[in-house]
Amino acid sequence: MIVIGSCLRRLSDLSLSHCAGVGNAGLQALCRLPGLRRLNLQHCTGLSAEGLSSLSRLTSLTSLDLTNVNQTCNQTMGVVGRLTELRTLNIPWCARVTDAGVGLLSGLSQLTWLSMAHCYQLGDGACRSVRRLVRLTHLDLSMCHQLTDDGLREIGGLAFLRCCSLIGLWMISDQGVAHAIEALPSLTYLDIRQCDRVTPKVISYAECMKHKRLRCVLGSRDTP
């Protein structure tokens, strides 16, 4: 990592996916790369919250993947929230992130893609923060089990949202999903599999809205 950080000054795209041996010192060396725009750290489990703070130096980043970097926390979100060039952010399986942490992302005005699947501490408060990310086109909140219909109402103002994944949200209902379908004018794909309280009535509702070209995916836990 030190060699990369010292010698490849023009590097713009770097994937260290599943490199569990990458530690804080290595990441700090990489953060000397002024032109780095896309960084994939998914499953780099050797990084700590303190080490992740060095990401603040990568002000040109447009894409960051922290999937299952399990020390990612609200402190990390504060750092990420200052990377204002970000278009894509993936933080699935970052279970230490809370609603307060998502609130620290509200300054990411260029963000179009956000995945927070399996962030189990997130609730409706996270959706209140997400609605400020007005350029979002893709949003994944799958398996964020604390989300309710109130949270779905919060994201209704995302005028450009095309794809939304809500897999495994046990607490949402037909009413909340119908509101989302109506309030998201650009929505073309909605995944509501394994949402136990959502029924096929939602599919019928979506089909009745002739002005929408919407694919709505519904299925139980037993559906292959």
Q: Which of 166, 118, 107, 164 is nearest to 139 (CA)?
A: 164
pLDDT of residue 207: 80
Query: Which architecture does CATH list for 98-217?
Result: Alpha-Beta Horseshoe (3.80)
Interval 120-172: pLDDT, tens: 999 999 999 999 999 999 999 999 999 999 999 999 989 999 999 999 999 99
Which pLDDT band, with edges at 50, 70 and 90, does 3 fall under? Answer: very low
Domain boundaries, the chain: 98-217
Question: Given this model, what pLDDT does residue 224 score?
Answer: 43
Q: Which of 96, 11, 105, 99 is nearest to 48 (CA)?
A: 96
Rounded Cα distance, 202 and 186, in Å = 17
Of 86-95, 111-120, 180-189, the least confident: 180-189
- 194-210 in b/e form (b: 16+ CB < 10 A) is bbeebeeebbeebeeee
d(CA 35, CA 60): 6
Mean residue pLDDT across the chain: 92
- The pLDDT assigned to 34 comes to 85
Average pLDDT for 43-65: 97
Q: Work out the average pLDDT over 56-75.
A: 97
- pLDDT score recorded for residue 16: 95
* Burial zone of 221 (CB within 10 Å; 0-12 exposed, 13-18 middle, 19+ buried): exposed
- 30 pLDDT above the threshold of 80: yes
